[in-house]
A and B are shown apart, each in its own frame.
Chain A
């Protein structure tokens, strides 16, 4: 029944960094950083998201898929074949790693959407992709979309994050944005799909905390066609961003004003224009307000955002070295991989936002390291 589910509740560690100049680095740094916070996870899940990893396929949707059985793969591929142009597919590279047991079938597809189909369905391309992801996750038993964005990918598994990184050979990818997560679930045994990050299109999110408003956030998003099937509040956060940023075209700054809204006591004292704007955001997006303790990092194609809940019930620290911005639960996780010029504690609800420079300004890279 529609109201039946079990919500994810987890503590966790998270870290992430972004080079605004699109200078890419391999996965060693992010692994070191997250491993520094192994205390915060319990081996029930770890995961990464990386942006800029598929320059050769930067215009294709990179679907990272998990299949718990081969039937699911077959059904899914039939579905994909029917709805997409499959540019390329193959097993996502992994290596046998201690601490990673019983892996599912992990497959990668580079997909494109037929313009004709979109035209026939009178559908926005990204909505079309979202619908497909929703369908696969909800309707095909044993199939799970790990990520579905362009020039990015999510890598997640049950295990400590370091092991997960080795398993997926992250040392072989190069990315300008890396985010990572180590999980400490309290209520459900870890499963591969339940590890972070959660993604939709090129949104990826790692999350530390519990969203007490989950019940209404979920019902709210359902009204707009989102199907929260994964029983986690991280998922609704990802969808919420998708709706606010992509569909409603709000800027990241404004979207964070809605989901981690300032208190009325602050809003009421603002000048008229700001007060009106923030009031309207709360009036309209009240059901999207994220309530409860959280810190999360959102990765997307143009940048990265770190944010805390409105009363900072979870730790979040930010740092900068050159043009690289770091966000993590703990300062040590940053100092493990950088010697920052500046370290600060964002206040409750205050987003730390980094945007990539437009592509033309970014440093040209000579080669791709991806071995597909």
Chain B
């Protein structure tokens, strides 16, 4: 065995004066960085193992620990940052594909940060959301272009039967994360928070644990290429069905939950034997064309007796606009677009960082395309991919989204520090793991509360911003790009985004 040339990424600093040898760090570190030597009465650290998750830092009762990027560095070079060198070393040592978790970390332009929002001054009053109603209710589903409502004895009466709609009390849902990728406790937290917040969470492709059928009215069940846990009862347990074609973090790539994570409960839920790898093929092997997709959409609609919306999720790829148009015409009630920064439990690093496109551009293009084709009402547009705060959400809605999925942000609210080791199954925060010793770290009571708080906080902020614009219903912001202006974008970008530059 030759010497590894991979350097420690993090430095563990322990203030020996503050360290009380309580060994909390040792017990909390699932990567076994810390150890205690009783003879010396000292703690030791193996920095090579540190992933920088900060669990020990947070749990150290005396705050004796500091974890920081390792200061020792190679000579800085524009083309050869340490990241590039490290990857090469890793591959030279393993001969394997690089694996990562979460979304793109290369920092492709985040357009949200180049968009600014409008507010009312003088000519129209801003509205104080503390004093006036401020409506975020959102409906997901196909809408007819017109509806027949007549007055009968002075009361409006609906004469048109509308296709099924999901009702959201806030335009944010929890994105698809499978039971298997995330733990039972996290699933439960998401389900309960979605229920408490009047919105939806998405099962991902992991099936639906029996315990969570009770949250069905707030559940979007996914049907992905592996068809894990998909059966009639499952499809009918949720409020809507989402066919997952692609994922923003890994367009064109299937999924893989390693066998070690497939315990008894996951096995039952996914309908696969205990300990077997859960492999989702790259394509659905019954969808090789748009007409195949149409068949699946209608097969699922049959299965749910046309009582629930059926949508399709795709990764934001170059011709997303055309694909989305095809999906709407194929009968989908909603289209989900997942951008380059969308999270994942495991993806090839190269794919994660370089395949697809930022959600802002895809969203703008798809919304515009559907409008140009006059079919924007025929499906709702849900977007996902790295939403970090409420203004990202507001901007997405102004660009044309009906609702957004938040995934990584939801996990961060549960403790995730984006250490990107989900694929190891050792998540020190107990989120993306099935290790029963680790999963306890998410207390579903606390998890539910934190997620509910997050949605509540973002909703309050959205209301505040809406009020500032003089708008009291979210539908008046949706697709209202006049409330967006860009800063520092070029003409082509402005054109794709359909927004004016600030000052115009």
Contacts and interface: CB of A to CB of B under 8 A. Distances in A.
A and B together in one complex: yes
Contacts of B122: 186
B150 A254 contact: yes
Contacts of A154: none
B477 to A, nearest CB: 7
- The 6 A-B residue pairs with the shortest CB-CB distance, nearest first, are A215-B482, A286-B475, A213-B476, A291-B476, A215-B480, A277-B156
A39 interface: no
A284 interface: yes
21 contacts: A4-B504, A187-B123, A212-B483, A215-B479, A215-B482, A219-B480, A249-B148, A250-B148, A253-B156, A254-B149, A280-B147, A284-B143, A284-B145, A284-B146, A284-B377, A286-B139, A290-B476, A291-B470, A292-B470, A311-B133, A313-B125
A311 B127 contact: yes
Contacts of A278: 156
A289 interface: yes
Contact of A9 (B123, B156, B376, B477): B123
Chain A's interface size range is: 35 or more
A216 B143 CA distance: 16
Given A223-B376, A287-B475, A313 B124 contact: yes
A251 to B, nearest CB: 6
A7 B371 contact: no
A245 to B, nearest CB: 12
A265 B482 contact: no
A217 B125 CA distance: 19
B308 to A, nearest CB: 16
B481 A215 contact: yes
Given A280-B160, A283-B162, A313-B124, A289 B498 contact: no
B471 A292 contact: yes
Given A284-B162, A289-B475, A213 B144 contact: no
Interface centre among B376, B480, B481, B499 (most CB of A within 10 A): B480
Given A1-B495, A254-B151, A289-B475, A223 B162 contact: no
A201 interface: no
Interface string B105-146: 000000000000000101111010000110101010001111
B478 A216 contact: yes
Interface string A133-176: 00000000000000000000000000000000000000000000
B476 to A, nearest CB: 3
A275 B346 CA distance: 46
Interface of A: 1-4, 7, 9-11, 186-187, 209-210, 212-216, 219-220, 222-224, 247-251, 253-254, 257, 261, 263-265, 273-274, 276-278, 280-287, 289-293, 310-311, 313
A2 B372 CA distance: 11
B107 to A, nearest CB: 28
B139 A283 contact: yes
B170 to A, nearest CB: 12
Contacts of B158: 273, 276-277, 280
B232 interface: no
A265 to B, nearest CB: 6
Contacts of B374: 223-224
B371 A223 contact: yes
A162 to B, nearest CB: 24
Contacts of B156: 253-254, 257, 273-274, 277-278, 281
B371 A253 contact: no
B203 interface: no
Nearest to A7: B482
A219 B124 contact: no
B150 A212 contact: no
A277 B144 contact: no
A249 B145 CA distance: 13
Contacts of A11: 123
